[in-house]
Structure 1
Amino acid sequence: MNVNGAVPSVFDAGLPTFSYDLDATPHDIFADLRNAQSQAPIAIGPLGPEILSYDLAREILRDNRFRLPPGITLAAQGITSGPLFDKLASSLLGLDGAPHIRLRKLVSKAFTPRATSRLTETIHQVVNGLIDRVMDAGSCDVVTDIARPYPTPIMCALIGAPSEDWQLFSDWTEQIFKAFNFQPDANFDESEIMRAWGELDAYVDDMVAARRDNLTDDLLSELIRAESDGDRLNLDELRGLVAGFLMAGTDTTRNQLAASVQVLCEHPDQWARLREHPELAMQAVEESMRHSPAACIVPRAALEDAEFGGYLFPAGTFVFANTFAANRDPAIYDDADRFDIARKDVPAILTFGGGAHYCLGANLARRELAEALVVLTRRLSAPHRTGPAPWKSILGMTGPTTLPIAFDVTTGA
């Protein structure tokens, strides 16, 4: 407290500071993060206050006074209006308040176990097919050969698109995701993104028309069925949700799968343990997302002057929940830097966010990752890295850009 009893501004409270380049990876800043975390639960980073403790990070993700401004990823590219901005701001990822609650309520009715449990066969076909291509070589780049092509066919199967159209969806996702990325992209082209999004919308229109009188058991049919107090999703909302699912479910899974495989490769005892005990798969997913997450920073902005954690955050202040630091908080996790897929009685990781925007597809993502790790550990024996595995910036979706490994071939699929 100040002498006059007022809550001090977060900027004037003498909190620890640390700095990093905007292209710094989680590994680059870890020592500085841990040093700041040992001094205070909040520190001032290069872009604003960063929440470093587990308890405060969990709290701010649930605090409606701090939200992600709609279209903020495009603003990072210099775009603050126009058709692409409007499209992004009206998506499930861009909405807040009552419109967001309404959409989420309808979507949660569609995200049933039935809509995702039938994907197990597809998941096994996809991951085994990718491994088949590299088995004879005894080596591969996990990023390009396995992780990158893995999620799109699964997302298409979830939605109900035929397998022969997987490449179309992959191309559209590649373009549209540029609008959701905080990192400036040298290949960013608004007209190309709108073209790709328009083609995806037209494809979804045809899928919806085909299902209106012939509903099946895919997610799109569940979305059409979904009703809450007489309310249903309109065509614009169905289009936006399909695009949102593709964006949220593709890049995240690609990067996390590569990151999870890397940390398991670097801990051969844990790889062997998962191979011998596939029932630990879900715990292996949780632990690898805690220890080596593909999503490390959750940005928020104070909508009003807000007292939080004993400090005043002026309206408009950008705040970053550093879930990478929070998931390694020594006050919460015993021997927090140790990678151990058999950890027990640990609190939920914060990698899937929290509060109103907690990841709707979290259970599907866990299933995709767990099934892939079970198959990989069963079929690839004694994997080891054969070259560098540089990571992307902590400020965007991170993870290795390349992960060259060699392995022993085992029988059985």
Structure 2
Amino acid sequence: MSAAVIDLPALSYEDAPDAHEAHRRIARARRTAAVAQGAHGLELLTYEVVHAALRDPRMCVPRGLGLEAQGITSGQLWDRAVTSLLGLDGEDHGRLRRLVCKAFTPRSVKRLERTITGIITGLVEPLLPVGRCEVVEDVARPYPVPVIAELLGAPSEDSKLFSGWADDVFKLFGWNVAEDEPLILASWGELDDYIDGMVADRRTSLSDDLISELIRAEDDGDRLTIEELRMLAAGILMAGTDTTRNQLAAAVDVLCDHPDQWELLAEHPELAMNAVEELMRFYPVVFGTMRMTTEDVEYAGVPIAAGTFVLCNTAGANRDPAVYDEPDTLDITRRAAAPMQTFGAGPHYCLGANLARRELAEALAVMAGQMRNLRRAAPATWKPVVGVTGPASVPIEFDVR
């Protein structure tokens, strides 16, 4: 029996005018069933089902990161996608993960704390005399790339290079890959050349940056090849840039509607990490995680055949009333709640989660500490709710504390 035989609710939210409407549509479908028929395949909607599926060894990342759905099944871009850390499963993924984990330690993140504070302070302070800004362009967009450059060990003046490469290579996760392929490959090649230069330099003089840590990384005599070093550096740049940019802009956008929460954060900056957890639960910029079934499975009574594309709708899981009290309420003091699923789970849990949390927490604490009476100067606009979404613009006004 296939899932198509069962009467599943239809779910469409990619054309929603904003994230709030997307969440309303998901909630309507979730009230009907734990599994829905989405725009690109089946979507799992409840916390219990998503939590289980993300940890299920019978679920793998779609080969080529979904490029097959766009008619791309070979060529340079395909080869890069299937050999990336995100695109691997099983022992190949486990091997690289074990090696990278040795470099992505809490010590690496702690080393960046002063850098993170300096970067966000340098972006916010020039805005204070004006009393207004556009959050995406003035703060969120330029914020994460210098942090990633510092993490990798690149000079701060090369941040603009990294920003351009990140913009281009991240198009791999869009729905116009065939058109963007030449640009993606050109920028990826330039990034490879840059990383090669860094690796050659570090091999003669190891430092405490991530490139040096990746060179040192060893697991029972196993080490990373130069191809794997290049791939991981590109993956770290992509994973650490677009999601953080969009999540910060989304957080400020929704906090404009919750001035009490903004003031609470200003008065209690120690709440910043808890606020990040709640904001990523309530208003995430990644709505789901792609999976493919490797054998027949069944979730919430719905049989799903092997080889079926499935979206684990983490946004739906994050607002499941069976797990969260008042799930449609933003509360940065929320305690003892189930972990939000936005960073994924299982073997593919986001390696950079701790760094992303630290960046977002510091940015929100600095902004709330300097800006009071936060309000929109004009309505925010959102990009389509697909892939990594988020505000296209958030114009705000504020008073200086």
TM-score of the superposed pair, with normalisation by structure 1: 0.93
| Counterpart contact for 2:58–2:295, Cα < 8 Å | yes
Letter in 2 for 1:152: V
Unaligned runs of at least 5 residues, structure 1: 1-7
Instruction: Show the 5 A alignment for 1:155-194.
Output: 155-179=148-172, 181-184=173-176, 188-194=179-185
Render the CA deviation track for 1:268-289: whole Å, top value 9, x for unaligned: 0000001000110110000000
Secondary structure in 2 matching 1:307: strand
Query: How far apart, in 2, do the equivalents of 1:76 and 1:409 lie?
Result: 49
Query: How far apart, in 2, do the equivalents of 1:216 and 1:371 lie?
Result: 26
Is 1:136 aligned to residue 129 of structure 2? yes
Secondary structure in 1 matching 2:3: coil
Render the CA deviation track for 1:115-153: whole Å, top value 9, x for unaligned: 111111111111111112322221111011100110000
The match for 1:148 among 112, 120, 141 is 141
Render the CA deviation track for 1:62-98: whole Å, top value 9, x for unaligned: 1121222122343354422111210121111111111
Query: How far apart, in 2, do the equivalents of 1:235 and 1:42 lie?
Result: 42
Render the CA deviation track for 1:30-86: whole Å, top value 9, x for unaligned: 333212211222222232221111010011111121222122343354422111210
Letter in 2 for 1:106: L
Query: How far apart, in 2, do the equivalents of 1:241 and 1:293 lie?
Result: 25
The match for 2:220 among 216, 219, 229 is 229
Query: How far apart, in 2, do the equivalents of 1:133 and 1:75 lie?
Result: 46
Secondary structure in 1 matching 2:393: coil
The match for 1:48 among 41, 46, 56 is 41
Query: How far apart, in 1, do the equivalents of 2:384 and 2:307 lie?
Result: 24
Kindly tell me the number of residue pairs found equivalent between the two proteins.
Answer: 401
Letter in 1 for 2:261: Q
Distance 1:136 1:78, change over 3 A: farther
Tell me what 2:55 maps to: 62
Q: Once the two structures are aligned, what percentage of the paired residues are identical?
A: 54
| Counterpart contact for 2:383–2:390, Cα < 8 Å | yes
**Which deviates the most, 307-316 or 393-402?**
307-316
Instruction: Show the 5 A alignment for 1:272-351.
Output: 272-351=263-342
Pairwise CA RMSD of aligned residues?
1.6
| Counterpart contact for 1:122–1:154, Cα < 8 Å | yes
Tell me what 2:382 maps to: 391
Query: How far apart, in 1, do the equivalents of 2:3 and 2:298 lie?
Result: 9
1:168 Cα offset (Å)? 0.7
Letter in 1 for 2:108: A
Unaligned runs of at least 5 residues, structure 2: none
Render the CA deviation track for 1:309-329: whole Å, top value 9, x for unaligned: 322111222111111111000
| Counterpart contact for 2:65–2:86, Cα < 8 Å | no
1:306 Cα offset (Å)? 2.1
| Counterpart contact for 1:205–1:239, Cα < 8 Å | yes
Tell me what 1:5 maps to: none
1:20 Cα offset (Å)? 4.2
Secondary structure in 2 matching 1:140: strand
Secondary structure in 2 matching 1:190: helix
